[in-house]
Amino acid sequence: MGNKKVTPFPQGFLWGGALAANQVEGGWNKGGKGLSVQDVQAYKPHVDQKNLAAHVKVSLPQLLEAAKETDDTYFPKRRGVDFYHRYPQDLALFAEMGFQVLRVSISWPRLYPTGMETQPNPEGIAFYHRLFQEMRKRGIKPLITLAHYEMPLALALEWNGWTDRRVIDLFVRFCETCYKEYGQYTDLWLSFNEIDSCIRHPFTTAGIIPELCGEEGELGACYQALHHQFVAAAMVTKMLREMVPGAKMGCMLTKLTTYPRTCAPDDMIATQARELENLSYADIMVFGEYPRLILRRIEKKGITIRMEPEDEGILREGTVDYVSFSYYMSMTESVDPNAERTPGNTVLGVKNPYLESSEWGWQVDPVGLRYSLVELYDRYKKPLFIVENGLGARDTLEADGSIHDPYRIEYFRRHFEEMAKAIDDGVELIGFTSWGPIDIISASSNQMSKRYGFIYVDQDDLGKGSLERYRKDSFYWYKKVIETNGADLD
């Protein structure tokens, strides 16, 4: 046998990367596309990561003003990294790394510019056919996300987004078109990206605008919008099985793994509440019903969700086939009001003294990924798919065109080692797509400078640069990992 390394990853394990249309495509007004809620997300040079609520806040006048703006300088998601035109070159680079799968989202307003049309936009339909055919040519399977924070802006401005039950039928129409057109390219689908994120950023996740919320207030509007998304997700899950035989639908959770800051029982109770809240969003989509504890917690907040009699049956008949999630970091929870807090993925957690932080304050915790995989598999007993994981960092393009990112290689090496342990623990893990395999616009900060890619893109936060692509050192490392199916992590 010599020193041939034996891989712990199963045969057929899917290695690749994950993107979102609104962060990578650009072409915000090309091919008949309508405005999405992301096209009015302004870049702010100084983001206070500890005051996220202020950062994600929107106001109707500001949105109407932004919608009239035709320039993209301060609207980075209007330009992404021009994947809309450069996808053949980028797919060639992904294929060079050996990608078996690429997660992408379909931009709803590219197919239905305001979301209210009864017929789809032919140019939008054609774009994704070209993209998926190019992927097929490269032997890369699409993993399609139907809703990745990019709903038509018109639905937000006119109906206050997902708070309006009529959006369910419009979303079902959009998904029916996607299945009819693109069901031929893949059997892997996801409905809502991080469906739990509605509470953390109501506008980008659900098109909720404070001035349009009624007496139920913004939090009540969030829970009503969430209910409509759960119903819509269940409906399009059932429809997928009918329209694309053999296709698999997953749910997608922001896995915000939280440990108690101390073994004090009160810290445990506070942690348990945070963990159950986070898991409840996947519970509803896996088990097909609201957990009683969650209903009680919503009731204690004084919130009443308007549900129709048919909703219970819809949820029960639309449960998912697999569980996918994003994992970047972990945090702790404490009842100590003076406990130091640090930012995470659009959350604020109590700092863990045993962990290092990224430049954006996210606490890097590879062992937490093993913990999360075991926790999720034990709870759901469904195949798991890690659809986002990665390190946002400031990379440097050297004069010779190289980029040295040993910190990113180290981040992934440690996370892959823990994934291997989880598989050895008995977890059924079917795939891994790194977040942002090419540098793209950050979701929470709209920065280009928060780079995740194995491929560097020459563009700065205000859109200046050649948009040329450069292979980072991690590009060659990930290529070798995929070639050896995870056996060689050196």
Residues that bind ligand BGP (CB under 6 A): 20, 23, 193-194, 254, 326, 345, 388, 392, 435, 442-445, 450
Nearer to ligand BGP, 298 or 443 (CB): 443
Q: How far does CA 311 lie from the centroid of its chain?
A: 26
Nearer to ligand BGP, 82 or 289 (CB): 82
Encoding tokens for residue 115?
């979301």
Q: How far is the CB of 464 from ligand BGP (least distance, A)?
A: 20
Q: How far does CA 131 lie from the centroid of its chain?
A: 20
Burial class for 34, CB neighbours closer than 10 Å (0-12, 13-18, 19+): buried
Beta carbons of 281 and 261 less than 8 angstroms apart: no
Q: How far is the CB of 105 from ligand BGP (least distance, A)?
A: 9
Beta carbons of 49 and 343 less than 8 angstroms apart: yes
Write down the catalytic residue from 194, 211, 215, 418. 194
Q: How far is the CB of 326 from ligand BGP (least distance, A)?
A: 5
Nearer to ligand BGP, 161 or 288 (CB): 161
For 434, list phi and psi in degrees, rounded to 5.
Answer: -65, 145
Nearer to ligand BGP, 124 or 343 (CB): 343
Write down the catalytic residue from 388, 417, 468, 483. 388
Nearer to ligand BGP, 23 or 36 (CB): 23
Q: How far does CA 59 lie from the centroid of its chain?
A: 24
Whether 218 is catalytic: no
| Of 437, 433, 432, nearest in space to 405 by CA | 437
Give the Cα separation of 204 and 153 in Å (integer): 10
Give the Cα separation of 107 and 113 in Å (integer): 10
Q: How far is the CB of 194 from ligand BGP (least distance, A)?
A: 5
Encoding tokens for residue 178?
């996607």
Whether 194 is catalytic: yes
Nearer to ligand BGP, 254 or 352 (CB): 254
Give the Cα separation of 459 and 457 in Å (integer): 6
Q: How far is the CB of 392 from ligand BGP (least distance, A)?
A: 5
Q: How far is the CB of 319 from ligand BGP (least distance, A)?
A: 22
Q: Return the active site residues.
A: 194, 388
